[in-house]
Chains A and B, each alone.
Chain A
Amino acid sequence: MAPRGRGGGRAGPRGRRVVPRRAVPVSPRRRREPEFISYYGRPILNEPVWAATDIAGYFFLGGMAGASSLLAAGAELTDRPALARASKVGALGAISLSLVALVHDLGRPARFLNMLRVFKPTSPMSVGVWVLGAYAPAAGIAAASDLTGIARPAGRAAAAGAAALGPVVASYTSVLMCNTAIPAWHEGYREMPFVFVASAASAAAGLALVAVPCDQAGPARTLAVAGAVGELAASHRLTSRLGLVADTYDTGRAGTLIKAAKVMTAAGAVLGATAGRRTRPASMVAGAALLAASACTRFGIFAAGVASARDPKYVVAPQRERRASATPAA
């Protein structure tokens, strides 16, 4: 049917109010299907161009490094040399790999250096680059000194520095993610840092359980339990507060990864705290489960964000709701 002289939307003068039907078929979903309209179902937001292996991998490795540096400091203070060494070496390895992942995502190393031309407090990525610029050398010196026995005082100072910056390295990436328009990330900005540090704690504890004899891994076992409890609690709070957008954490690739993460987190912590106390193989299995769980958490959160950008429903419906609830008060 051709449009008449007056296009549908401009049919005012003769009093014909034209009401659009739901014009765009929305993807069939299971529950709480909101009423919404979009432009041929096309996304409103651009999804992240970041490769999941590079950037979710970077978040996982950075978290593991940051929390490991903290664990190493505790181990040094309480005279657990094997735990200290494994955590320092683990931190160095993880942060080095994470920088490789970052550079790989950018394309070439010069682009990383290009970020050091400015410091912008409004850009968590800029803040992060400078923090990494201080943290990575500290982690490197700490590990090198521990392994070689050279320059012990400098090594201790570097280890302390890495421990001071570790919590920042483990948490800033949550701000980096949440300071975007991606609904599944931004809407969860209150809980995301807690999910991130808890996941980082699990990873660092997991690494220690794999690499350290049982008699020195006591704090790592405790940390594994604390990290697991923290991660499960923070994740639960995150998804229970998100409303419609929580779907992106429960379904699809993200849903699979996050369910796997939860199972492995709980299993790893329980195994580590029980059989892991007595036998090295059990400790190593528990540690491996925690490491895998932490990686799955990061990849799952990443996938949820992509899913929330891809379907305009997650942009339109919450924003409509927000506007509707704001209007009467105004």
Chain B
Amino acid sequence: MSDFTLPVHHDGADPARDTGYVDPPPRMGFFTDTSICIGCKACEVACKEWNEVPEDGLEWTGMSFDNTQGLSADSWRHVAFIEQPAVAEDGKDFRWLMASDVCKHCTHAACLDVCPTGALFRTEFGTVVVQDDVCNGCGYCVPACPYGVVAIRESDGGAHKCTLCYDRLEVGQEPACAKACPTDSIQFGELETLRARAGERVEALHAAGVEEAQLYGHDPEDGVGGDGAFFLLLDEPEVYGLPPDPVVTTRDLASMWRHAGAAAGALVLVVGASFLGGRSR
């Protein structure tokens, strides 16, 4: 029991190789620089068009100009509009942040770990994809995701989320959202290159006085082993609806099984002990 190791606990940040691909291409991902997002929603639309994702309600929510509200089985990109009264040092002001959210394609992906059918799999590019024809709709991936990304589509009962346009990647194309983004807020490429570029961008912003600029999901040491889709944010993650410190709960699975084993043992002992003592009949 103590030697129980889990496949998610590889040291390297190369999930494709860890999964068993012998000579995979470089890990690909997204760097979403929200400081240059203009909230045009071209990414949302391009994603729906390319992936034939159904419409998911065309009504105003009343909460803001954000009428998508969040990621779902039918929204694989979601542009958050943060419209807030804010206090500036020189008086009252208003701020408006925009950020295009997406599946994070975690290095240690909880959805993939818990899937009991193998419908979720790791691609050679290190991304995470659901196979619609294998998914049985058990819904385990839904509460497992620490980012609240993957969801069940009511019309077909299956789990759906961003595939990072696996079909386009296979033929050397970039994902539809990145292709459509007019400001290059969504950048697609080799993850290592993107991380280096993101680091430079944060430094440039800091030098320009934007102290609040920070990277999110870039760190291979974080609770999910770093994200294949990471972000430059202008405020804390929770402002954008992102968890501050997500973890892949599978990392505690060995401990969970040990506790369950102890509990099961206790049950055996207690039931056994119930039969000790004098026969009452």
Contact = CB atoms under 8 A, between A and B. Distances in A.
Interface in A184-231: 185-186, 189-190, 192-194, 196-197, 200-201, 215-216, 218-220, 222-223, 226-227, 230
A7 interface: yes
Interface in B7-25: 7-8
B86 A123 contact: no
A90 interface: no
7 contacts: A1-B85, A10-B35, A40-B66, A48-B139, A67-B267, A78-B275, A115-B138
Nearest to A13: B209
A20 B235 contact: yes
Interface stretch (A135-143, A154-162, A253-261, A313-321): A313-321
Contact of A39 (B238, B262, B266, B277): B238
Contacts of B234: 9-10
Contacts of A219: 271, 274-275
A180 to B, nearest CB: 4
A3 B210 CA distance: 17
Given A197-B266, A197-B267, A174 B117 contact: no
Nearest to A277: B280
Contact of A319 (B89, B115, B245, B280): B245
Contacts of B243: 44-45, 315-316, 319
A39 B143 contact: no
Given A15-B209, A181-B145, A1 B93 contact: yes
Interface residues of A, number: 103
A38 interface: yes
Contacts of B177: none
Interface in B191-218: 205, 208-212
A123 B281 CA distance: 45
Contacts of A170: 264, 267
Contact of B82 (A39, A80, A117, A220): A39
Question: What DSSP secondary structure best describes chain A's contact surface?
Answer: helix
Interface stretch (B168-176, B180-188, B246-254): B246-254
A219 B274 CA distance: 5
A329 interface: no
Contacts of B205: 12
Contacts of A200: 267
Interface string B29-68: 0000001000000000000000000000000000110100
Nearest to B151: A46
Contacts of A105: 138-139
B143 A46 contact: yes
Interface in B80-120: 80, 82, 84-90, 92-97, 110, 113-118
Of B157, B235, B250, B271, the most chain A CB neighbours within 10 A belong to B271
